[in-house]
Structures are given as C-alpha cells and as structure tokens.
Amino acid sequence: MESSRTAAHPTATAALVAPGRTRRFRGTHRGTGRPARRGRLLRGLTPWLFLATGVGLLLLFTYWPAVNLVYYSFTDWDGIDLTKNFVGLQNYIDVFTDPTIFRVFYVSLYYFAASFAQMAIALYFATILSFSTRFSSLFRGILFFPYLINGVAIGFVFLYLFQPGGTLDTVLSWVGVSDPPQWLGDPDLVNWSLAGTSVWRYTGMNFVLFLGAIQSLPHELYEAAELDGASRWQQFWAIIFPGIRRVVGLSFILAIAGSLSVFEIPFIMTGGANGSTTFVIQTIQTAFTFRGVGLASAMAVVLLLIVLVVTWIQRKIFPDEKVDLT
C-alpha cells in the first residue's frame, strides 16, 4: 500500500555498506612530482568535492527538517508567529488522547487489510504467469500499467466509477442489485472503496516484483518436480513460495509503513470527508489549514517513530536483504 511513499529502502543498505572497495588506489598517486603535503591535502579533499552537493542537499532537505520537526513538536508554534512557546510534551499527549486525532490510525487498518488482498492477487498472477502462458507479456503489461498512472488521474477514474448511477452501479444493476449504496458517501463504506482503489493501483507493482523473483529461481527445480509428477499446486508450495518468501515478507512489512502514510487517493477523491481522513491528511490539515505546526510536528514525529520501528523490525527479520530481480 502506497509503499512507494516510504523511503525505507533495504537494498540501499547492501550497496552502501559493500565492503572491500576502498584503498585500491593507494600508491598510484606517487611520483607525480607535486609537493607531498599539498598533494595529500588535495587528495583528501577530492572525494569531498565530489560529495559536496549531494551531502549538502541531503543535510539541508532531509536532516534539517527532521531536526526542526522534533523542535517544533515541543512548541505551540502556529507557523507564522515569531515566538515559539515551549509546551513540553503537551502536543504528544494531544496526539494520543484527542479522539479526533487518534481515530485516523484506525483508518489505516483498512488499507493494511487491503494490502493482504493486494499481495494475494499479485502472488497468484505472478505464479500463473511464470508458467508458460499465451500473451503473457500482454497480460503482464495490463496488470502492471495502473501502477504508472498519475494519482490524480486514478482518483478521477474511480470517482467516476463510484459515482451514484455510475459504472459500478450499472454493473451491479445487471446482476440485480437495484439499490446500490453510496460508495464514497457512506462512512461505513468509504474506506473500503478507497482501499479498493489503492489495491487497483498498487497490485501491479507487487506483481512485477514477485514475478521477477519467481523467474530468478532455477528452472531445473521445476523440471525435476515435473518429472516427479508434482502438480502446479505442489510446485507452488514446495518451490515457488519458499523461494520468494523473503520478497513477500519484505513487501508485507513495508505495507505496514505504507498503510500509515496513505495520502494521495483519499485526499484526491474525498478530501478526507466521511471519515476517510488518513494520518498524513490529518497532519497536513493540522499544519496548514488549522495552523497548528507544533501539534502537526508531534504527529509527524509519531509517524516517523512508527516507521523507524517497523524498519528496525524488518532489518531484524531480513538482516541482509538483497533483492536483485533484474
């Protein structure tokens, strides 16, 4: 679910900490004739010249806001006032005691539940398309394409689908449902409709990931299994699922963080109306509509901590996750 929004990126770890690639040039600089000290200074500086822009932007646009976020969260700042009054833990107490704030956590459960459906569908189609299939690249393309579509366009496509008397109601009338509910107007239903939209949008990504993982499994395994007379079902449980368990597990854990940071679909389609406000929508509204930067910062810090904990668990379970699916 919206997992593209979270920056947690396990594979990055693997590449960034790859050992044994340093010190290879030692000695090649010798004998250039430059004064030794100047040469050493220059040599020490060179990598930083290459790094400067990247690290500078990183510090400015990632770390500085993160530090400020923590600072604001202990104040009552409204975003304009020159003075920021220190209020201690009051904002954090509000986050966990104010029912209007706390209930938005509950909304993410819909998206979390939907991510199970999303992964099951993705796994099913990845499995059947990994066996020889006619038009497999056409089917793969169709199933994947929604993931590439602009979020606002998807929002409109589904607003059109869900509108009273719209596409969905027409289809239902063919099978005899004459009194369809208000898909986006009924508070009991709106989150299911939105989570369903999210499944439509993101299944393709999971599907392509799973398909890539299945295809990287050695072919001999299937051939041996088929010689032994194993059915497709047995092949799935004995070969495919164990082979891609890590990718599935990883996607599952990332779905937790993803379902907490859902923003685009509900914001575009309902603007958070009828009880469809998610945590990020609530944070943005608190900060920019109600001018409660302090409280919004506390909310953002809480989300940040949850994501950090989830990522920490993920790293514990999959310590050296390296998913190379090309």
Partner 1 sequence: MSIATRPRSGLTFGMRVRSMSAQTAKYTSLVVASIVTLLPLTVVLFASLKSGKEYGASGPFTPPENWFNLDNFVTAFTNGAMLEGFINTAIVLAVSLVGTVFIGTMAAYALDRFAFRGKRLATGLFLVATLIPSVTSQVATFQLINGMGLYDTKAALILLFMGTDVIALYLFIQFMQSIPISLDEAAMIDGANRWTIYWRVVLPLLKPAIATVIIIKGIAIYNEFYAAFLYLPSQGFISTSLFRFKGPYGAHWEIIAAGTIIVIIPTLVAFLFLQKWIYKGLTSGAVK
CA distance 4 to 13: 17
Q: Least distance (Å) from partner 1 to the CB of residue 148?
A: 5
Query: How far apart, in whole angstroms, are the C-alpha atoms of residue 319 and residue 14?
Result: 10
| Of residues 146 and 181, the one with the C-beta less far from partner 1 | 146
Q: Which is nearer to partner 1, 37 or 219 (CB)?
A: 219
Minimum distance from CB of 35 to partner 1 (Å)?
16
297/284 Cα distance (integer angstroms):
10
Q: How far is CA 67 from the centre of its chain?
A: 23
In three-state secondary structure terms, 31 is: coil
Judged by DSSP in three states, 218 sits in: coil
Cβ within 8 Å of residue 147, ≥6 positions away: 201, 202, 203, 204, 205, 208
3-class secondary-structure state, position 51: helix
Separation of alpha carbons 216 and 5, rounded Å: 27
Cα–Cα distance for residue pair 211/201, rounded to 1 Å: 17
Closest CA to 158 of 69, 85, 265, 255: 265
- Locate 309 and state its tokens: 């904990």
- Calpha distance 78→96 (Å, rounded): 20
Cite the DSSP H helix spans in 228-289.
Answer: 232-235, 241-260, 264-269, 279-284
